[in-house]
Structure 1
């Protein structure tokens, strides 16, 4: 009898369909809430435009509202860079910390490894399951932006929507894979959660501080958030350097997780 293909991946996907559905509805609801409002509050000369013009420039830059009167700027600053960012980071943190550290704390990890499953296989398949779910959220985001593009008068192009969705996914993967790596290193979900959420918060703060002046702009080079959104992919297209950093660090964290789990004892 042939061995099942990707059994741990398929198990993780099957067991998490409810949470995946919940996050999907959350992403869809956020987009349906924000984007249709653009013609009335986000366009040039609108209430939002007048409000932003009266705010301190440093605050506007920190919030990423410099180009909020354009469809691309509004969508990127209100969803991808704010509420959508929070949603994908929370989902990534929840899924990744449960995948290894959560299972180890519950005792399920030791039982799984007792069934002729290698530690490398476990890390890679669990990572794939998290990545696929995050990719699904990024895809849902892209589909809804494109679906609302005309009615909400956003004026964005399909290629740029793909670019910002790739950056959005990469940002989620950095948190997820770091959470997996720390979970594999420590076996403690609290440490994995702190790392996954912490890198997102720190990245956001570095980007916000770096936007205050040209002297501080170099801080964005150390920010995953900056790698994703500093060059406004929804307005300008893909930033290949930023994408390389996001996906490169994600791959490095996966390798770290594999090595860490292979070289330490598992708590029973």
Structure 2
């Protein structure tokens, strides 16, 4: 089996230690969030002088505004939009995307790789598949950890159905695809791995900042449509108990367009260092 897709397996094998560390970190962090939610009611956790959390906190609950962070769906959603969660996702995406094309161009080895019977399309397809598989495993681990915590906590389970946890996990995978597409496009066009990693981090950081500002400052509200975090709303999925299909469609569609752009760019570019 591994002889059929060698580039796919090599991409994962070369970063197996990093991916294992990210997987452990993801499980440990989501377990911590569930433990905190079960130990202290979110309303008590964010209570301050009898007042609820500031409206700006809506950006941290993984919600478009309907779910407060001072609730079980909001607190669990915060665990799926926390900067640590984002950093783990972007680390996997940036590393594997940079290695897809740009790293080989930078090192001067791409001309040795892209020879018959390994075409440019096959190179990008297998390495894209490796990246998609990696983020799928990370999101599955986070989802299963949260689902186990919800199932073991009657108080949380009354407010958060397991179907909502699975829906939030699917939204998380959609978000990862949304980040993967542009990262692969930059890798297909770039000549340095730093360009890909920097672009991946920039898209994630700027997107989060734009969504935060749009939720906290009413005049900037229209800007939220430019951020992937407006469409990635795990808090809403947890509260509603189902997938937000229009938002998921935007996330997946953006990712697929980015991957298509990567293929077009790679087919037309000069691979000389």
Same-fold call, TM > 0.5? yes
Mapped pair 1:241 → 2:246: yes
Match of 2:228 among 208, 224, 229: 224
**Which residue number corresponds to residue 81 of structure 1?**
81
Alignment of 1:79-158 (within 5 A): 79-82=79-82, 83-152=84-153, 153-155=155-157, 156-158=160-162
Structure 1 residue 185 displacement after superposition: 0.9
**Bigger shift: 18-27 or 151-160?**
151-160
Gaps of 5+ in 1: none
Check the 8 A contact 2:61/2:75 in 1, yes or no. Answer: no
**Which residue number corresponds to residue 186 of structure 2?**
182
Cα offsets for 1:120-167 (capped at 9, x unmatched): 111111101000000000100111011111334422222211211121
Alignment of 1:243-262 (within 5 A): 243-262=248-267
1:194, 1:97 → 2: CA distance? 10
**Which residue number corresponds to residue 7 of structure 2?**
8
Cα offsets for 1:75-110 (capped at 9, x unmatched): 111x10113222212221122112211122122322
Q: TM-score, normalised to structure 1's length?
A: 0.89
Structure 1 residue 4 displacement after superposition: 4.0
**Which residue number corresponds to residue 19 of structure 2?**
20
Q: TM-score, normalised to structure 2's length?
A: 0.88
Residues 246 and 3 (structure 1 numbering): CA distance in 2 closer, same or farther, change over 3 Å?
Answer: closer
Residues 52 and 252 (structure 1 numbering): CA distance in 2 closer, same or farther, change over 3 Å?
Answer: farther
**Which residue number corresponds to residue 215 of structure 2?**
211
* Count of matched residue positions in the alignment of Structure 1 and Structure 2: 264
Mapped pair 1:71 → 2:67: no
**Which residue number corresponds to residue 56 of structure 2?**
59
- RMSD over aligned Cα atoms: 2.4
